[in-house]
Each structure stands twice: as structure tokens, then as C-alpha cells.
Amino acid sequence: MLKRLLEYVGFEPGRFQARWISGSEGAKFTTTIKDMTEKIKSLGPNKKMRDDIV
């Protein structure tokens, strides 16, 4: 349901990820953020949002 809502408002599916990480899992948090950042960078600019602005 959330995925469809995000697509409807212009977010590509790969731009949203949810993870459960405990406050005591610092290394897991760091790895997750790095992985998510790389994934977002590989997607490039969000085409829908960029088209609306330009």
C-alpha cells in the first residue's frame, strides 16, 4: 500500500527502504546507510520530481 502511494506521488520504488535497527547495532546502521546511499546515487535524480520542477 505504501509503495503504491509513494509511486503515485512520484517516488520511484527503489528510493524507499525500511529497516529495523536497534540503537546497539551501530555497525549495522553504518552499513545500511552506506548501501542505501549507493543505491540512491545509482538511480540518479528522481525523474518525476525533476520533470515537475523544470
Residue 11 has φ and ψ, to the nearest 5°, of -95, 130
Interatomic CA distance for residues 27 and 8, integer angstroms: 34
- The cell numbers describing 39, all together, are 543505491
Query: What is the pLDDT, as a whole number, of residue 46?
Result: 79
Q: What's at 15, amino acid-wise?
A: R
Query: What is the pLDDT, as a whole number, of residue 52?
Result: 56
Report the predicted TM-score, pTM, of the whole model to 2 decimal places.
0.66
**pLDDT beyond 60 at 53:** no
Reported as a pLDDT band with limits 50, 70 and 90, residue 7 is confident
Residue 21 has φ and ψ, to the nearest 5°, of -135, 125
